[in-house]
Structure 1
Amino acid sequence: MKPQKSVIYRQIPRPDPALLARAAEFGVADLHGALGLVAGRMSLMSPAMNPIAPGQKLCGPAITAWNFPGDNLAIHIALDTAQVGDVLVFTNGGGHQGALWGDVACGFAVKKGVAGAVVHGACRDTDAIRDLGFPVWSTHVSVEQPEKRGPAAVNVPVVADGVLVEPGDIVCGDADGVVVIPLALLAATVAGAEARAANEVKIRARIAAGELPLDILGIRNTIETLGIEQIEGTWQDGQG
């Protein structure tokens, strides 16, 4: 095996634009659910990954950057490779040492048409970034000064907030969190999200007509199948 070293890949695999546009119509909850129990959980970042402003949303292919702790050289290289609509995904392992993202780089990202940034590490200049209207999710906020010396790796597979992100994977974020859709699963995920959305329309109509979610979702049958005891009384009634 060759020793690992700093590397920059300037291209990423890219999704079908029409398919990406369909994915962007859905929220993180529908896309996460459509991925299924296993892939959905593996692809969902933790609640530590927070939006810096309300109302943010993004959906686009990942440009990835691995940064040495305390350093953000890779994010500037990644930004140089990004195209319109791309999502920047940065990690330094998740530490707060050395802010990975700030308003100066953000201003250039806005000018370039980048869709947003997901930062497994620290972001700073948050008020200025909000004023720019640039969507950012991060696990930390810290003004700690970063170095720009490397080592660095750009557009390689990274693990960001516990999720494997390969260059070109579809990163979607909203107020509920961030999910990463593997490029190979995009078509199936979009189809699943469309089916879920259509089913929810029917469920809401049935609720509006007077049916109970307990019946619509089959919860009564589940209670019976599991043999869960139901007692007509309070918990204190059985004490004494």
Structure 2
Amino acid sequence: MTPPVKSVIYSRVPRPDPALVARAAKFGIADLHEGLGEIAGRMCLMSPAMVPIAPGQKVCGPAVTAWNFPGDNLAIHAALYTAEAGDVLVLTNGGGHQGALWGDVACTFAKKKGLVGTVVHGATRDVDAIRELGYPVWSTAVSVEHPKKRGPAAVNVPVVIDNVFVEPGDLIVGDSDGILVIPRDLIELAVTNAETRAAKEVEFRRRIEEGEVLFDILGMRAVIEDLGIAIKDCTWEEDR
């Protein structure tokens, strides 16, 4: 996607149904990722480069997006201004370390305003202070490099964050496993499938506690037979 050349700030975001957001918040990104299906699940999952600043972080809320010129963080301040309680800031400068996009002062204001987390495709600084604040932040880099505030900038426009397409209002879900972006029209699907999957895993755990073998619970024996893979009752040395 080509970044916008003309600066623009949209103050309104098409947010998803709060009841649906609350249902999604009950699950980790693993269940929701699987709930999206193989293709959409992979397209919506950010890479392992997007890591939590502190352990145990969780986030679930609609995206407020901010596109920043490399070395500049003007857009994040406009995003902070337009965001509402329950939102997740999603910031990018293309992923470079030039000019920290996020720090503890912005974090303090975001927490005060009721935002629930920030996802940074670029650099975060003041990491120790952010950890003390207890505000959830994910980032692809850490750098204290000074940012300008001149633009160009765009707020609440579609952006690409860590190779994932994000539109304002998409559901951002994060935990220690990473960040997942769920398009608004797929939230119901992801949540419904996650609920089904979670119930199935409860049953799996019950059967494991009762002494069953996971290999058999998951039907791996039939899968291996269908694939024509031999199970030999000997060592590889004996089979040479």
Q: TM-score, normalised by structure 2?
A: 0.96
Once the two structures are superposed, the pairs formed by residues 75-224 of structure 1 within 5 Å of their partners are 75-224=76-225
Could you report, residue by residue, the CA deviation over 1:157-207 in whole angstroms, capped at 9, with x for unpaired residues? 000011101000000000011000100111111111111111111111111
Residues 32 and 194 in structure 2, CA contact (< 8 A), matched pair in contact too: yes
Task: Name the aligned partner's letter for residue 37 of structure 2.
Answer: G
- Cα distance in 2 for partners of 1:204, 1:238 equals 36
Residue 21 of structure 1 and its aligned partner are, at CA, apart by 0.5
Q: Secondary structure at the match of 2:237?
A: helix
How big is the shift at 1:233? 2.1
Alpha-carbon displacement from aligned partner over 1:69-107 (angstroms, at most 9, x marks no partner): 111100010010000010000011111111000011111
C-alpha displacement at 1:112, in angstroms?
Answer: 0.5
Secondary structure of the 1:108 match is helix
1:62 offset after TM fit, Å?
A: 0.1
C-alpha separation between the residues in 2 aligned to 1:203 and 1:127? 40
Map Cα deviations across residues 182-235 of structure 1 (whole Å, 9 max, x no partner). Answer: 001111111111111111111111111121111111110010011112222222
The answer for the alignment partner of 1:63 in structure 2 is 64
**What are the ranges of 5 or more consecutive residues in structure 2 without an aligned counterpart?**
none
- Name the amino acid aligned to 1:92: N
User: SS at the partner of 1:131?
Assistant: helix
Q: 1:28 is matched with which residue? A: 29
Q: Give the 3-state SS of the residue equivalent to 1:54 in structure 2.
A: coil
Distance 1:196 1:225 in 2: 24
- CA-to-aligned-CA distance 1:119-166 (integer Å, 9 cap, x gap): 000000000111111100000000011111100110000000111010
- Mapped to 2, the partners of 1:4 and 1:44 lie a distance apart of 27
Identity of aligned residues (%): 70
Distance 2:211 2:134 in 1: 42
TM-score (norm 1): 0.96
Deviates more, 1:207-216 or 1:192-201: 207-216
My pick for the range that moved more, 159-168 or 206-215, is 206-215
Deviation at 1:236, TM superposition (A): 2.5
The 8 Å contact of residues 5 and 152 in structure 2, kept in 1 or not, is answered as no
State how far apart, in whole Å, the 1-side matches of 2:217 and 2:231 are.
20
The residue aligned with 2:235 is 234
Aligned length: 237
Structure 2 residue matching 1:121: 3-state secondary structure: strand
Give the gaps of 5 or more residues in structure 1. none
Q: Distance in 2 between matches of 1:203 and 1:144?
A: 49
Report the aligned-residue RMSD: 1.0
CA distance in 1, matches of 2:102, 2:72: 11
Q: Secondary structure at the match of 1:63?
A: strand
- Cα distance in 2, alignment partners of residues 168 and 131 from structure 1: 28
CA distance in 2, matches of 1:234, 1:8: 66
Q: What SS class does the counterpart of residue 15 from structure 1 fall into?
A: coil
Whichever residue aligns with residue 206 of structure 2, its letter is A
